[in-house]
Amino acid sequence: MKKRADGRYQLSIMVGYNENGTPKRKLVYGKTQKEVTEKAADLRVKQSRGLVINDTLTVSEWADIWLDTYKTGIAYNTKKMYCDVVRKYIKLPLGNLKIKDVKTAQLQNIVNELCDRPRTAKLFKLTTSQMFKQAIANDILFKNPAEGIALPTATPKHTKRALTEEEMQKIFALNLDKRTRCLVLLLMYTGMRKGEALAIKKSDINFETNEIVVNKSLVVVSNKSTVKESPKTAAGIRSIPLLAPLKPVLFEYVTGLKTEFLFTTQSGDTMSHIAYRRLWQKFERALDSKEVTAHIFRHNFATILYNAGVDVKAAQTILGHKNISITLGIYTHLDGKRKDEAAAKLNDYFS
């Protein structure tokens, strides 16, 4: 066993033979001699079972192993995000490189090229950091090259907005068909995520207690939709108050509905991406604007909760935010806006 200049210990273990007959060795590292001894023993056990990974393992090969082993059982969209990052930004530039030869500088160069896309750069660092961390846990690497990545300076986030007063008035005045009107007002008066609203069933609505139960979400993959029996997070399982402006619209729509789901395709299947786009485009044409999205209604409802004096904890529950910091962020922004308006009124008074 040898002590390195960085204070760690290392031990060379023979794991086989090279093609030319010379011994093939693998270095085991640890902060203490005991840790190295335990790792060496574990490596020998793996070797006896044929589990020692070859030093020629490439980044592409490990990325596939990592995705298949450590990214199962996660939400579809989250898995897709990791797969996209691996495919576009890891495999293309680094795929054929041996994983043990990856340097921080190489990863930093990729991040530098993403300087105008800070979110993608952040996802790249997140993905590579997790990927190489698991490589360390499997004794493939002893250092994580992603730890030294410096992210580009974040540009100010685009402020999420609520509906303007003019947009609100135009929406109320629109002559929409029952289905489109119901979806628009459901989003406006519940603050649901789009996927949650599209997964609502008649049985989720209680007109006696004035409640809507949210416990699932619609996920669309390649225009094929499936209902996930739990929303985005555990906090997404909740009961939302059925507000007075929404109740008669919802009751009228549900009463004549033949399907269990509120929003379906013409054949009665759960809503597909194309079917949803057609529905939403009807709304956009009637409004004569493409500026209003489903998520704007969610932020607008958060603004309604704030203006109505609903405390931040109750708002978090109604909106289904996993972390109260998200709700606090919205409320803090609105607090600042209200203070600015108050200051402007005072200045007008004294001018």
Average pLDDT over residues 206-212: 95
Please count the other Cβ atoms lying within 10 Å of the Cβ belonging to residue 192.
28
- Looking at the predicted structure, is the pLDDT value of residue 63 above 90? yes
- Looking at the predicted structure, is the pLDDT value of residue 156 above 70? no
State residue 232's pLDDT score. 56
Contact 193, 292 (CB under 8 A): no
Q: What angle do CA 283, 301, 289 make, to 5 degrees?
A: 25
Pairing of strands 211-214, 238-241: antiparallel
Residue 111 is encoded by which pair of tokens?
């991040």
Residue 15 is encoded by which pair of tokens?
């794991």
pLDDT in tens, 81-131: 999 999 999 999 999 999 989 999 999 999 998 888 888 999 999 999 999
Give start-end residues of each CATH 1.10.150.130 domain in the chain: 59-137
> Which of residues 56 and 214 earns the better pLDDT score?
214
State residue 220's pLDDT score. 75
- Looking at the predicted structure, is the pLDDT value of residue 342 above 70? no
DSSP assignment of 133-195, as one string? HHHHHTTS-SS-TTTT--PPPPPPPPPP----HHHHHHHHH----HHHHHHHHHHHHH---HH
Angstrom distance (rounded) from CA 33 to CA 39 = 10
Average pLDDT over residues 320-348: 71
State residue 194's pLDDT score. 92
State residue 47's pLDDT score. 61
Query: What mean pLDDT, rounded, does the chain reach?
Result: 85
State residue 210's pLDDT score. 95
- Looking at the predicted structure, is the pLDDT value of residue 197 above 60? yes
pTM over 0.85: no
Residue 215 is encoded by which pair of tokens?
């416990």
Read off the pLDDT band of 157 (50, 70, 90). low
CATH 1.10.443.10, applies to 165-297 = yes
State residue 350's pLDDT score. 58
The CATH architecture assigned to 59-137 reads Orthogonal Bundle (1.10)
Angstrom distance (rounded) from CA 145 to CA 59 = 12
State residue 130's pLDDT score. 96
State residue 208's pLDDT score. 95
Contact 109, 150 (CB under 8 A): no
- Looking at the predicted structure, is the pLDDT value of residue 8 above 70? yes
State residue 345's pLDDT score. 64
State residue 338's pLDDT score. 64
| Least reliable range by pLDDT among 174-178, 314-318, 341-345 | 341-345
Contact 60, 102 (CB under 8 A): no
Give start-end residues of each CATH 1.10.443.10 domain in the chain: 165-297
Read off the pLDDT band of 60 (50, 70, 90). very high
> Which of residues 23 and 228 earns the better pLDDT score?
228
Read off the pLDDT band of 142 (50, 70, 90). confident
State residue 266's pLDDT score. 87
Angstrom distance (rounded) from CA 127 to CA 133 = 10
